[in-house]
Amino acid sequence: MSQRQVTMRDVARAAGVHPGTVSRVLNPRTRPLVNPATADRVEQVAREMGYSLNPIARGLKTRRSFSVGVLIPDLTNPLFPPIIRGIERVLDAAGYTALVASTDGEPARERLRLEALIARQVDGFVIATAERRHPVVADAIASELAVVLVNRTIEGEGVFAVVPDDRRGSAMAVDHLAALGHTRIAHIAGPQQTTTGLLRYRGFFEAIEDAGLAPDRGLIAQGEAFTIVAGAKAARELLATADPPTGIVAANDLLALGAYTALAEAGLDCPGDVSVVGFNDMPFADRFAPPLTTVHIPHGHIGARAAELLLERIEDPAATPQTLVFEPTLRVRGSTAAPARRRRPAGSGATAARGSRAAAPRP
Binding positions for DNA, rule: CB under 7 A: 5, 7-9, 16-21, 23-24, 26-27, 30, 33-39, 51, 53-54, 57-58, 60-62
Q: How far apart are CA 250 and CA 226, in angstroms?
A: 10
Give the helix/strand (H/E) hosting 14: helix 8-15
| Residue 247 contact partner, candidates DNA, a second copy, none, CB within 5 to 8 A by sort of partner | none
Residue 106 interacts with a second copy (CB under 8 A): yes or no:
no
Q: How far apart are CA 234 and CA 74, in angstroms?
A: 21
Cβ distance to DNA smaller for residue 52 or 76: 52
Q: How far is the CB of 223 from a second copy (least distance, A)?
A: 17
Residue 19 interacts with a second copy (CB under 8 A): yes or no:
no
Among 30, 52, 193, 351, binds a second copy (CB under 8 A): 52
End-to-end CA distance of the chain: 59
Cβ distance to a second copy smaller for residue 97 or 323: 97
Cβ distance to DNA smaller for residue 8 or 232: 8
Q: How far is the CB of 5 from a second copy (least distance, A)?
A: 9
| Residue 44 contact partner, candidates DNA, a second copy, none, CB within 5 to 8 A by sort of partner | none
Residue 361 interacts with a second copy (CB under 8 A): yes or no:
yes
Q: How far is the CB of 118 from a second copy (least distance, A)?
A: 8
Q: Please give the backbone phi and psi of residue 251, each rounded to the nearest 5 degrees, phi first.
A: -75, -15
Q: Which of residues 288-327 bind a second copy (CB under 8 A)?
A: 288-291
Count Cβ atoms below 10 Å from residue 114 Cβ, excluding itself: 24
Q: Please give the backbone phi and psi of residue 232, each rounded to the nearest 5 degrees, phi first.
A: -65, -45
Q: How far is the CB of 1 from a second copy (least distance, A)?
A: 5
Nearest one of 100, 15, 29 to 58, comparing CA atoms: 29
**Contact assessment for residue 353 and residue 266, using Cβ atoms and an 8 Å cutoff:** yes
Residue 360 interacts with a second copy (CB under 8 A): yes or no:
yes
Q: How far apart are CA 126 and CA 297, in angstroms?
A: 18
**Contact assessment for residue 299 and residue 151, using Cβ atoms and an 8 Å cutoff:** no
Residue 287 interacts with a second copy (CB under 8 A): yes or no:
yes
Please provide the size of the chain in residues. Answer: 363
Among 40, 48, 106, 115, binds a second copy (CB under 8 A): 115
Q: How far apart are CA 255 and CA 278, in angstroms?
A: 7
Q: How far is the CB of 97 from DNA (least distance, A)?
A: 16
Cβ distance to a second copy smaller for residue 140 or 219: 140
Cβ distance to DNA smaller for residue 43 or 269: 43
What distance lies between CA 63 and its chain's CA centroid? Answer: 28
Residue 223 interacts with a second copy (CB under 8 A): yes or no:
no
Give the helix/strand (H/E) hosting 221: strand 220-222
| Residue 334 contact partner, candidates a second copy, DNA, none, CB within 5 to 8 A by sort of partner | a second copy
**Contact assessment for residue 153 and residue 199, using Cβ atoms and an 8 Å cutoff:** no
Q: Please give the backbone phi and psi of residue 264, each rounded to the nearest 5 degrees, phi first.
A: -60, -45
| Residue 35 contact partner, candidates DNA, a second copy, none, CB within 5 to 8 A by sort of partner | DNA
Helix (H), strand (E), coil (C) string for 66-133: CEEEEEECCCCCCCHHHHHHHHHHHHHHCCCEEEEEECCCCHHHHHHHHHHHHHCCCCEEEECCCCCC
Cβ distance to DNA smaller for residue 37 or 352: 37
Q: How far apart are CA 82 and CA 76, in angstroms?
A: 12
Residue 335 interacts with a second copy (CB under 8 A): yes or no:
no
Q: How far apart are CA 291 and CA 295, in angstroms?
A: 13
Residue 101 interacts with a second copy (CB under 8 A): yes or no:
yes
Binding positions for a second copy, rule: CB under 8 A: 1-3, 52-57, 59-60, 65, 67, 75-76, 78, 81-82, 84-85, 88, 92, 97-102, 109, 115-116, 118-121, 139-140, 143, 257, 260, 269, 271-272, 283-284, 287-291, 334, 358, 360-363
